[in-house]
Amino acid sequence: MSAGLAAIELVRVRLPLKRSFRTSFGTSTNKECVLVRAIGADDAEGWGECTAMEAPRYSGEWNDGAWLVLRDHLIPATLAGQPTGVRGHPMAAAALEVALTDLELRAKGVSLASHLGGVRDRVPCGVSLGIEERIDDLLELVKRFLDAGYRRVKLKIEPGHDVEPVSAVRAAFPEAPLSVDANAAYTLETSDAILPLDDLALEYIEQPLPEDDLLGHIELQRRIASPICLDETITSARVARGAVELGACRIINVKLGRVGGLTEALRIHDLAREARVPLWVGGMLETGIGRAANVALASLPGFTLPGDTSASDRYFEHDVTEPFVVDADGMMAVPDGPGLGVVPVPDRLEAAVIDRVSVWP
């Protein structure tokens, strides 16, 4: 992989979110992340985005840790043409893998979607709405995104903000495709509080229990009719196989960062497809760089459900790339240019940069 690599640069960016995003693990008002820029011998570039957040609350990774493991371990090994030997840090590893793949595919003139085996040129889009203090605000947001054509609306929940807001949304929008995401906020014992959600015709209940509670999810899935969709739990193809075979979930959310990159995401795709488990591509409020990779992944045949592949303007006033848009029918075009098919727009990137460092061989 190191052939033709002159250097790799880390670029940390911060973009204000249009609306703060509250989940059961915290509130984000900015999107801050590390971008990886692989530089070829001929000044060619490849980009990848690390999906870690500011604090280790969704998973154990966070931006400062990702910066160091990339700078001091993953990148030096890669530039030396050595295996990295790094355990963990899947989001950091995935960002580097995508940047190297983008560089390689640009040289070949092949899009990431076709490299991965994509079969669609547009993908269905959902939106993920944060916890709102006021139910009226939530209802207004749901209406706005349904009117814009989004094909599924996911509502974040936590203890104290669950059955009441979700029932209000269901009452106001009887036919809307709705789901909920608890980000691991319940235990099997406290999950009785959300059993009434089972009567609200949800598409699925995402990650109700802690990420390592496979037995809990198996038990809860036996008790409820709504499918459980796992997010945080699915860290590898091996875990995915166990979760599917043991009945811990009926749907899987695939995130490139969480599973450690494209290779592992493809393994999960293939085994879930074989097992007829529907997939969708999750999101981490990505900039256009991470979004391009997500949308390419969503073009594969196993991704049959709408992903958290929302338009750039759902998150940011100004993305670092040209904005991704959702058409009136709730579909988003898959980039068809070489590699990711998008690059940072220089002045938009400059406006967002808060730190950079280059690593040479």
- 283 lies in the binding site for ligand OSB (CB under 6 A): yes
Q: How far is the CB of 112 from ligand OSB (least distance, A)?
A: 18
| Longest Cα–Cα distance in the chain | 60
CA 218, 224, 230 angle in degrees (round to 5)?
A: 50
Q: Is 154 one of the catalytic residues? A: no
C-alpha pair distances (Å), 37 with each of 9, 40, 94, 255: 5, 10, 13, 20
The residue assigned the tokens 């058409």 is 327
- 181 lies in the binding site for Mg ion (CB under 5 A): yes
Q: How far is the CB of 127 from ligand OSB (least distance, A)?
A: 7
Select from 231, 264, 286, 319 the one that contacts Mg ion (CB under 5 A): 231
- 58 lies in the binding site for ligand OSB (CB under 6 A): yes
Polymer length in residues for the chain: 361
Q: How far is the CB of 73 from ligand OSB (least distance, A)?
A: 24
Q: CA–CA separation, 277 vs 280, rounded Å?
A: 10
- 289 lies in the binding site for ligand OSB (CB under 6 A): no
- 208 lies in the binding site for ligand OSB (CB under 6 A): no
DSSP type of residue 339: B
**Of the two residues 103 and 166, which places its CB atom closer to Mg ion in the complex?**
166
Total residues contacting ligand OSB by CB under 6 A comes to 11
- 308 lies in the binding site for Mg ion (CB under 5 A): no
- Hey, is 101 helix, strand or coil? helix
The three state secondary structure string of 224-270 is: CCCCEEECCCCCCHHHHHHHHHHCCCCEEEECHHHHCCHHHHHHHHH
Task: Work out what residue 308 binds among Mg ion, ligand OSB, none; the CB cut-off runs from 5 to 8 Å by kind.
Answer: ligand OSB
H or E element, residue 337: none
**Of the two residues 106 and 156, which places its CB atom closer to ligand OSB in the complex?**
156
Summarize as ranges the residues that interact with ligand OSB (CB under 6 A).
58, 128, 181, 183, 231, 282-285, 308, 310
Instruction: Tell me the catalytic residues.
Output: 156, 255
